[in-house]
Structure 1
Amino acid sequence: MSGYYSLKDQHVEIKFESEDERVLIICSGGEDVFTKLLKERAVFITHEEDLLKSADQRSLRLLMNPTKLTFAPESFDTVVCFFTFFYFPKYKAIFENVNRVLKRWGKLLVWDVTIPKKVSHKSFFAVPLLIDDGLEMVKVVNVTKWKFEQSSGMIKKIARESGFKLVKEQTFNQVFHLEFSKISDMK
């Protein structure tokens, strides 16, 4: 594909063992697997109207910008960001909003990908992804304009500065999974 830089297939296992009551899913692109697992416990938000249709019908689905969450403070037990930053790289604003709506000691689960320095003649960065959610294997290709670099280290640093502590880290080739706990409110 001319103009595209594509990683090799990335395999990700999604294990959602939480029994939390209220889970916020921030989706800014790609495939939604979480509302299928969580059903009515999920509150699915996206800034893309077309993505609302992909969420499980039993979940609450809202059109909302992840940098301007309108929920009351400490409304959620868990927040999931699945390739959120890949499509919507407004890290600080998203972390600040998540901090506000997440309960103290709540979990923030991030799945995203390392994006290297841009290759001059390539305009798009593609990530073919095989998602194993324990029920089925889903294949998707995530594509974004290649404007920025991204690493798990950068996301961990911004999370730490935003009141989160890293609890668990996994790497699946170029894809990473970070689990944070909210330890303090934003000042």
Structure 2
Amino acid sequence: MVEFFSLPDNRIELPDIDTGGRILDIGGGGEGIIGLLKGDRVVAIDPNRRELEETSNDSLMILMDACDLKFLDESFELVTSFFTLMYIHGEKWGTVFREVHRVLKDGGEFWIWDASFHIPRTVKENICMIPLKVVFPDGSIVDTGYGCRIHDQDLEDFEELARANGFEIQETSREGDTFFLKLKRLPK
């Protein structure tokens, strides 16, 4: 039987994203938060067809794995990951970061919103849930949540991966059980 461990409610306030170009959104299926924010400027990828079919926004939806991006080098000015890395096994995070670096233009940015999980070893549940209130720049709110198999992950895990894979850390922030990490692609 699947049992859930739920974190407290969390709130994310999205900034307006203005890159002028297309945005690659890794894991853009499901709620498709970045697609809701920027519409047809977003190329949303997800390895799960059902997640893409359930998405209701104007993004271009492509069935694709973030570990094997089918785009040419230096195709995007911005890549986003909105509560997606928590679903990717930690052993594959480095591959995702290398692929994102490859498809970003020099000086391009990788924006990551995700959960900080520090689950006590006494927890018996299999799945950790993180309920979210996502506040858009216009003040509208989407109530959503994400759940994944219980594992530990935190901002520092991704900062280390960023430095090891050709990124410079531009900004970090924490709010409740969530974090935001803004990275800049360094030239090869």
Query: Could you say whether these structures have the same fold, taking a TM-score greater than 0.5 normalized by the shorter chain as the test?
Result: yes
Aligned position for 1:21: 21
Per-residue CA deviation, residues 136-177 of structure 1 (Å, 9 max, x unaligned), is 21111211111x210100110001100001101111111001
Aligned position for 1:171: 174
Q: TM-score, normalised by structure 1?
A: 0.91
CA distance, structure 1, for counterparts of residue 56 and residue 186 of structure 2: 31
Per-residue deviation, 1:74: 0.2
SS at match of 1:65: coil
Q: Does 1:97 align with 2:99?
A: yes
Residue 127 (structure 2) aligned to one of 124, 127, 133: 124
Query: Could you list the runs of 5+ residues in structure 2 that have no partner in the other structure?
Result: none
Per-residue deviation, 1:32: 1.5
Aligned position for 2:6: 6
CA distance, structure 1, for counterparts of residue 86 and residue 34 of structure 2: 17
SS at match of 1:178: strand
Q: Does 1:138 align with 2:142?
A: yes
Per-residue deviation, 1:11: 0.4
The root-mean-square deviation of aligned C-alpha atoms, in Å, is 1.7
Query: How many residues were matched structurally?
Result: 183
Aligned position for 2:34: 34
Aligned position for 1:88: 88
Name the CA shift for 1:57/1:83 in 2 (closer, same or farther; >3 Å). closer
Letter in 2 for 1:38: K
SS at match of 2:181: strand
Confirm or deny: 8 A CA contact 2:34 2:82 kept in the other structure: no
Q: Percent identity?
A: 27
CA distance, structure 2, for counterparts of residue 67 and residue 49 of structure 1: 16
Name the CA shift for 1:49/1:110 in 2 (closer, same or farther; >3 Å). same
Query: Could you list the runs of 5+ residues in structure 1 that have no partner in the other structure?
Result: none
